[in-house]
Amino acid sequence: MATMTYGEAGKQALAEEMRRDPLVWAVGEDLGRGGVFGQYKGLVEEFGPLRISDAPISEAAILGAAVGAAMTGTRPVVEMRFADFALCAVDELINQAAKARFMFGGQARVPLVVREPMGMWRSSAAQHSQSLEGWYTHIPGLVVVCPSTPADNKGLLKAAIRSDDPVVYFEHKNMWALEGEVPDGDVTVPFGVARTAREGRDLTIVSWSATVHAATKAAETLAGEGIEAEVIDLRTLWPWDREAVFASVAKTGRLMVAHEAVQVGGFGAEVAATVAEHCFKDLKAPVKRLGSPRVPIAYAPPLEDMLRVTPEKIAEAARAVVSES
């Protein structure tokens, strides 16, 4: 095991895959100078500008070229800089990449990874702060990944690069500097397998990305009050690990889903509805969702903070779930 940051783990995953497979390459804006967050720093020196490719400021052109390159045999890793900017290229991803294998009867594949840094980050305001992962889970043909730890950022990115399906890969902007242990060697993390971040018996909290850490802190606070919450990190939203969530709810009898994305139409609703349909006999209390309000994200730090799903808000909602049973 080695200790490294979330950003360094992602960079190491890409470098290892590029050394392993000459068909892997990266394209996007600012890659030659290391990327907006330094997640590509030093790679152009090792692999050259043809494999760490700087692109003009046109997300549609970047992703459109990458989709064509994937369909003709390479494995592009596309950097969108911010999840918000990927909306300029959403037609290429949803109407082309996601549907190609189906529409060509399996004769074409699109082994493509689209990296979309997500989430609130130091007053970046409404056009640079969104968490849009739930949008992509609605689209057949896409894999959706949301790693929360350095180890998962390495293992899941390696798995994404090797996937023959297009993967939308969300890295939270507030976690680039997060440190953690990362296994040595060629270790991948499979899609659709959740991680139990904390064991508990009284309440299941399901989350992903940076909110996993807020949920874990909330669980520590609740433990001091005699409430033992189990925290499930989904890691991938599609496919998602229904069996792990069902097993946890069967044990605790209560479920809360917490995420930074807007609560209305968020992926938490899918988790909540699925558990309500399949585990209703196990539930001791109504399922609870906790997400951001349906408002644009403010620039002003005090207003931005009002929209955050914090450990305090998670703990408060958890207490309400437990008290209802």
pTM for this predicted structure: 0.96
Alpha carbons 317 and 299: distance in angstroms, whole number: 26
Q: What is the DSSP secondary-structure string of 124-179?
A: --TTS----HHHHHTSTT-EEE---SHHHHHHHHHHHHH-SS-EEE--BGGGTT-E
Q: For the chain, which domains are there?
A: 2-182 (3.40.50.970), 195-324 (3.40.50.920)
- CA distances, 252 to each of 151, 285, 313 (Å): 28, 10, 20
* Residue 128 annotated among the catalytic residues of the structure: yes
Q: What is the pLDDT along the chain (325 residues), one digit of tens a residue?
A: 999 999 999 999 999 999 999 999 999 999 999 999 999 999 999 999 999 999 999 999 999 999 999 999 999 999 999 999 999 999 999 999 999 999 999 999 999 999 999 999 888 999 999 999 999 999 999 999 999 999 999 999 999 999 999 999 999 999 999 999 999 989 999 999 999 999 999 999 999 999 999 999 999 999 999 999 999 999 999 999 999 999 999 999 999 999 999 999 999 999 999 999 999 999 999 999 999 999 999 999 999 999 999 999 999 999 999 998 7
pLDDT at 122: 87
Alpha carbons 267 and 281: distance in angstroms, whole number: 23
